[in-house]
Structure 1
């Protein structure tokens, strides 16, 4: 795409969305995020600049100045979605939804030619839909053509059951997301991570520090050994059950202590995706939870994606947060392909 189309990625994290655009040949000028620990991964894997800024207070002129003169300006981003997520426990105190209003403010000032926003589907319902309606109304008041839809990432080659809200806005015409590429040929867990070297729980693979998994205590080791592929705690003998599972209220937690199935897609990856008790994150065959590298691949990051500077140390918690919060790289590529197709039709300059 040369230098004609230039992108700034807001709330960029470690670069899942940016990587999708770079794969499609777009020029990503910069990614902006409040979390400085994302800098190494973003810059190393994407050959782009990371700006450590608070987008609530960052002046829009600084963003406008990033774009070269006479270039077509594309602004993309995924405002942190914890407030909108069904996993969020503190919706009443979590004010991260305000970041979407910051996104709107920046759009008002920068006036990009094309915009894309990705988030969780629950944003459509959060606060009775007010936050999302305000975002769309602002775009339409600025005369953008707006489209949005709920996208199933597995239909586009992400080996994971992950539904996302994808919005496009353009000065030219409506942007339609490309047709599903894997509607009838999902990429399975086996296809995604089945080739990785087997390891024991608590062991690190010598050639990849991210291919390591937590050590299980004896009772959890027995639990994973008693769990069939695709199964969970309902398959255990009574002596393995947690007290909460014995209560009527505990029966609603179907997906904790579950195993993945080789021939299915993975469940939705979260920031706690290497914890056996935090979801259906047990390896399909080996008696352990998945590793950070396996989680990253299931998020459709390339196998060689670097998440931390090897000359330093970074906590497992931070890396898992980066992986779980990321836009799947392949979904980023789908968003980029959709915009590219749009530009081929409507940009005649």
Structure 2
């Protein structure tokens, strides 16, 4: 039996990819960003896509796709920009951002569609957000057993450090988020055997920033396999990095071959935004390398004519498909066990 799922705030399809790998039938996805949706459509053409602001989407249009059948899973990652530690500049409180309230839209769809199970992912700071606390109380009030935690996806076989909040819920029994498998996959495991972007036939692997001669020379001076701008000779340190307490230490840093990657963010195709230099070659990682470190399949398609900044943003904002697959498998097993017992 294939269970049905709907993906709210679908982005370029990281969560859906994990659902599909776990053998869910993703019947619908909702997303407003047209570039992300172009990517989603390239890879998940059978899914009905609602290209709209979810706040204006009538739930009945989504319900019609079910044809009177039960929805097994409603999943979603409400935009989290206001909770991001970068946006908050490491303050404890959220930045005022209209997107912070989109968690209420997730709640609206749960209340209207009454799925058997739910899954939501976000940044860790949401755990202290008053609206999340209110949403959790409401979900429990309408019969959902809730489990949530903050985990590091590196503990689930994803080759990057990335702390995420994850919440599962069920109205047919107790449910727990999947335990870590503690499988460590390194940068070398994932991109160590890739061909050069200069000789590849993969157009996504050809996409990476080209720098002016001074920056190229500076990058060449950064020690291989984990070096950073702090290791540069004084004459190569950029003026903007000479001031005390400026920026983040990881900018213009190299990844380490035998460790997990730093978090793949929306700035992953810009070495001035984080530790995104190749461990050995004198360049930033490519779009394909970033996507692989996010655990997208090697043949996952991305539009190549869009700006690099837009491509990097959709890759960095995605939920790693492997993490989604593991949590989705946990939900699938929960559904199988409880539906046999309850005969839903």
Instruction: Tell me the TM-score normalized by structure 2.
Output: 0.92
Residue of 261, 266, 269 corresponding to 1:266 = 261
What RMSD over aligned residues (CA atoms) do the two structures have, in Å?
Answer: 1.7
Mapped to 2, the partners of 1:49 and 1:205 lie a distance apart of: 37
Pairing 1:72-111 to 2, within 5 Å after superposition: 72-88=71-87, 92-111=95-114
Equivalence map 1:1-349=2 (5 Å): 1-2=1-2, 5-46=3-44, 47-88=46-87, 92-125=95-128, 129-181=129-181, 183=182, 185-199=183-197, 205-212=199-206, 213-228=208-223, 229-250=225-246, 253-308=248-303, 313-348=305-340, 349=343
* Alignment gaps of 5+ in structure 2: none
Q: Secondary structure at the match of 2:72?
A: strand
Q: Distance in 1 between matches of 2:294 and 2:67?
A: 32
Moved more, 241-250 or 142-151: 241-250
The answer to whether the Cα contact below 8 Å between 2:71 and 2:114 also exists between their aligned partners in 1 is no
Aligned residues: 334
Alpha-carbon distance, 1:205 to partner: 4.6
- Rounded to whole Å, the distance in 2 between the matches of 1:25 and 1:102 is 26
Determine the C-alpha separation between the residues in 1 that align with 2:243 and 2:42: 49
The Cα of 1:144 is off from its aligned counterpart by 0.7
User: Distance in 2 between the 1:298 and 1:88 partners?
Assistant: 23
Q: Give the 3 Å change call, closer, same or farther, for CA 92–163 of structure 1 in structure 2.
A: closer
What is the DSSP-based 3-state SS (H/G/I as helix, E as strand, rest coil) of the residue aligned with 1:66?
Answer: helix
Q: Output one character per residue of 1:312-343: Cα deviation in whole Å (capped at 9) or x when no partner.
A: x3222221111111111101101211101211
So what's the TM-score if we normalise by structure 1?
Answer: 0.91
Higher helix share: 2
Following the alignment from structure 1 to structure 2, what is the Cα–Cα distance between the partners of residues 231 and 268? 16
Q: 1:246 and 1:42 mapped to 2: Cα distance?
A: 42
> For the residues of structure 1 that align with 2:59 and 2:336, how far apart are their CA atoms?
29
CA–CA separation in structure 1 for the residues paired with 2:76 and 2:139 = 15
User: Contact 1:178 / 1:338 at 8 angstroms: preserved in 2?
Assistant: yes
Aligned partners of 1:143, 1:119: CA distance in 2, in Å?
22
Please say if residues 269 and 309 of structure 2, whose CA atoms lie closer than 8 Å, have aligned partners that are also in contact. no
Is the alpha carbon distance of 1:92 and 1:85 closer, same or farther for their aligned partners in structure 2, counting shifts above 3 Å? closer
Q: What secondary structure sits across from 2:332 in the alignment? A: helix
Bigger drift between 86-95 and 147-156 goes to 86-95
